[in-house]
A and B are shown apart, each in its own frame.
Chain A
Amino acid sequence: MMLSVLKRLLRSAVIVLIVTFATFSLMFGNGPGIARAILGYQATEGDVQRKVVQLGLDRPLLVQYGDWLGNAVTGNLGESFFTGQTVTSALATRVPVTLTLVVLTMILTIIISVLLGVAAAVYGGWLDRALQFVAVLGAAAPSFIIAIGLVFAFAIAVRIFPATGYVSPDISLGGWLLSVTLPVISLLVGSVANAASQFRGAVLDVLSRDFVRTLRARGIPGSHIIFRHVLRNAGGPGLTVLSLQTLGLVGGAIFVELVFALPGIGQLANLSTQNGDVPMAMGPVVVTIIIVLVVNFIGDFANTMLNPKARTR
């Protein structure tokens, strides 16, 4: 048990290294390009060259990465090429926005997809067909298109929700709720469509197992069988689906932040990359990978708790 936790931590550390190194090489790989993006198209070759040296972009990539990593371990992610703002302070205001979206969506996804999945698997009929239809639709429409659709419908045609912007819960709780409602719905559609149909499959799979028939034959009421035995056994596959979805969710958040002009890390990543502010762009990468790993870790842990075979091994 301790050993498997250690193993998983080690694995997570390796993944952090790989992801950060890969993105670092991509972002810092083209020194003159970065300098050119900062200085603008009128700058001379010589200006660009000086800027490259000034920013230390002429050093070997591995050395630059080593520096970055060394600082990152101490909590220093560098500072913006433009404003001199530290990356950590920029993240401090933006991470809560993205986390709000991701966490709210995840919680709602779990609740809705468990209810929908179980209901569709157990009752079948029109409910089941409706879920399958929603699943196809959710799979077909990317979150940013849903977001645009929602802006179109509720913020322009019927003005109920604010179209853009973020209100911190410290300022106004109601305003905060209103400002995140549409973004969360945009993310939720695809996420629930996938999770619910997968969970439905897991429940159907358990329902067809022999022991369920035996439990029925023992005279155990149907609702007890569903809530005690079927849910417990379908929980493992369900958790796996959810933790795999986190990646997609964080990715989707980037688009949704753009559509709704929310000051989250996705927006930060996109803007700083396009401006050539690469140290700033590395910040969101680190946050993203940490969110994904933490969720996977929790998922794995819960899975182990649910599955006696994994626990006793």
Chain B
Amino acid sequence: MSAETPNPAATEAPVPVAGRSVMKRLVTNPMGAICLAYLLFVIFLGLSSPFLAPFQPNQADLNAVNAGPFEPGHLLGADSAGRDILSQLMWGTSQTLLGSVLVLTISVAAGVTGGLLAGFYRGKFETAADWVNDVIMSLPSIVLLIALYALTGPNVMVAMAVFGLLVAPTYYRLVRAVVVGVRTELYVDAAKVVGLSDQRIIGRHVLWAVRAPVVIQSSFILAAGIGIQAGVEFLGLGDPKQASWGGTLQNANNNIYNNRFGVLWPALLVTLTILALVLLGNVLRDVLQSSARNKTLRKDRRRELARKAQQERTAATSDLPAQDVVLSIRGLRVGYPDGPDSVREVVHGVDLDVRRGEIHGLVGESGSGKSQMAFSTLGILPKEAVILGGSIYQGGEDILADDKSMKKARGHRIGYIPQEPMSNLDPSFTIGAQLVYGLRAVKTISAKEAKKQLTTLLAKVGIRDPEGIMRLYPHEISGGMAQRVLICGAVAADPDLIVADEPTTALDVTVQAEVLELLRQLSKERGLAMILVTHNLGVVADLCDTVSVMKSGRIVEHNDVESLFEDPQQDYTKELLESTRRVELLEV
């Protein structure tokens, strides 16, 4: 992988945002603004109860027993003892706010500190903290809170403090994971090398990375705190003399047959408050962590582009490729969404022919579109990519025009060798299982026969103990071995063409030489054509018959390999060659 221009398919890193702009984006987001406004209203409700609540807490009005909503003097009605529901809820709000802030403070203090220390210093502290954390996580919190009642009697604040400790593991796990991740970042190593102290590194690099996830999580923890507080009160573990949301709900629920609407108000208040916090958390996540612009294409726009490309195909009277051509690309254009309506083209109308047995090098730097070409021929472009036009002929059919012929070609007539050997094998299956299964998916053949053929082929690609390898899992073999397995899988179905995407880039140079040797041999013996995507001109010189040089989505030069290296025509080709040769050992 090279890094000069960003890969169009790559996801963007989180944008750093300063405090003020977070607030601004939160308020300009409609959902965020609604949630914030609602939460401010709840806070106002709590703070203003001494001045605005129509009745004192527990003040009973015997004339209003079980009053329905909207009765004079009792906007939301009254409960079985004649207490005004609106007043009860207003007085209960300050309790709820206090409780949830308590939960938040304690859990942040315990969890974030623990996570920071464990993640940064690791070692014994981390082992111990992990253990405590695991134990706390297996404690049934509501049962403990009920047990606590036996000791302290009705004291919701103590219960909330304990609950704060019980949810601290959420922060601990979150923060520790982030810190462990940051700790392995090279910029932390760089900070150590320039002599920054641990405190400065934590303050400068680690806290920054932890900040956003903690803020987001806090929104959810507040929601959980409110839920559990209402729950504890609802169970009857709260102080019956004190007004509370959960207590009001409990009374109303016990009285549901006499005043059915009584449950509505506390239930709504609790649910809406939790909902507002959860939604606020989601909005915060969007604001703090996702990239600034939405880069998904609208569905109808995508369909429209596909239709246009198809019309072009039927209209085009392209000359049919010559007999010995196994793959022919005409006017291929590929794009990536730039916004909901616009698409940025990264491959601009490329033509390419590959003849039987020909090894064709597709060479270019990162962002040149060479991998996009390879993925297009196999129909394995990333989901968001759009084919804007062009045709790919294989066996006389345009595989881009017809999904069925693509399916017929893929794996049967065209094989694929990926770049990174280890991540391209399914870790959950043995080598043998995935090879046999893969072959039987494209070829009607018995499992026994498939196994026999694959064993022979594995020996052929240079694996000494094929039977043994087939019983192993991918994590038990080396990278070079894994690449041989993948090559075996690609040629097993006896295709005409192999598309190899940087097949040796992830390998050591000595292993690379062996793999190149293997590819040459397979091509010669089986008359296999190959498209070899690579950034390495040495690999091209070693293996290829013909070369196309790609730059910014276009083929700038195309020739047989000897002529291109001997007499490059384009400036770009010359520059590439010169840069490569400068770091080469020619005299051996």
Contact = CB atoms under 8 A, between A and B. Distances in A.
Direct contact of A and B (CB under 8 A): yes
Interface of A: 14-15, 18-19, 22-23, 26-30, 33-34, 125, 136-137, 139-142, 144-145, 148-149, 151-152, 156, 209-211, 213-221, 224, 228-229, 232-233, 244, 247, 250-251, 254-255, 258-259, 269-270, 273-274, 276, 278, 281, 284-285, 288-289, 292-293, 296, 306-309, 312
Interface string B184-213: 000000000000000000000000000000
Contact of A209 (B263, B275, B423): B423
B69 interface: no
Nearest to B409: A219
A144 B428 contact: no
A251 to B, nearest CB: 4
B411 A220 contact: yes
B493 A219 contact: yes
Nearest to B150: A27
Contact of B149 (A151, A210, A274): A274
Interface in B261-312: 263-264, 267, 270-271, 274-275, 278-279, 282, 299
Interface in B149-169: 149-153
Contact of A218 (B135, B149, B441): B441
Given A219-B442, A281-B147, A152 B260 contact: yes
Contact of B271 (A23, A140, A211, A214): A140
A142 B227 contact: yes
Contacts of B275: 136-137, 140-141
A210 B486 CA distance: 12
A152 B256 contact: yes
Q: Taking each of B150, B256, B378, which has the highest tally of chain A beta carbons within 10 Å of its own beta carbon?
A: B150
A149 B267 CA distance: 8
B234 interface: yes
Interface of B: 135, 137-144, 146-153, 220, 223, 227, 230-231, 234-237, 249, 253, 256-257, 260, 263-264, 267, 270-271, 274-275, 278-279, 282, 299, 378-380, 407, 410-412, 415-416, 418, 420, 423-430, 437-438, 441-442, 473, 475-476, 486, 489-490, 493, 499
B411 A33 contact: no
Given A30-B151, A254-B235, A139 B223 contact: yes
A232 B142 CA distance: 34
B278 A139 contact: yes
A219 B235 contact: no
A247 B428 contact: no
26 contacts: A29-B150, A30-B151, A30-B152, A33-B151, A125-B299, A140-B278, A144-B231, A148-B253, A211-B426, A214-B486, A217-B380, A217-B499, A219-B412, A219-B442, A221-B407, A228-B437, A247-B139, A250-B140, A255-B231, A269-B146, A270-B237, A273-B146, A274-B237, A285-B143, A288-B143, A296-B138
A164 to B, nearest CB: 10
Nearest to A244: B137
A285 B473 CA distance: 43
Contacts of A258: 234-235
A247 B231 contact: no
Given A137-B275, A278-B150, A312-B476, A145 B135 contact: no
Contacts of B236: 270, 274
A269 B418 contact: no
Contact of B278 (A125, A136, A259, A288): A136
Nearest to B152: A30
A228 B415 CA distance: 21
A3 B163 CA distance: 35
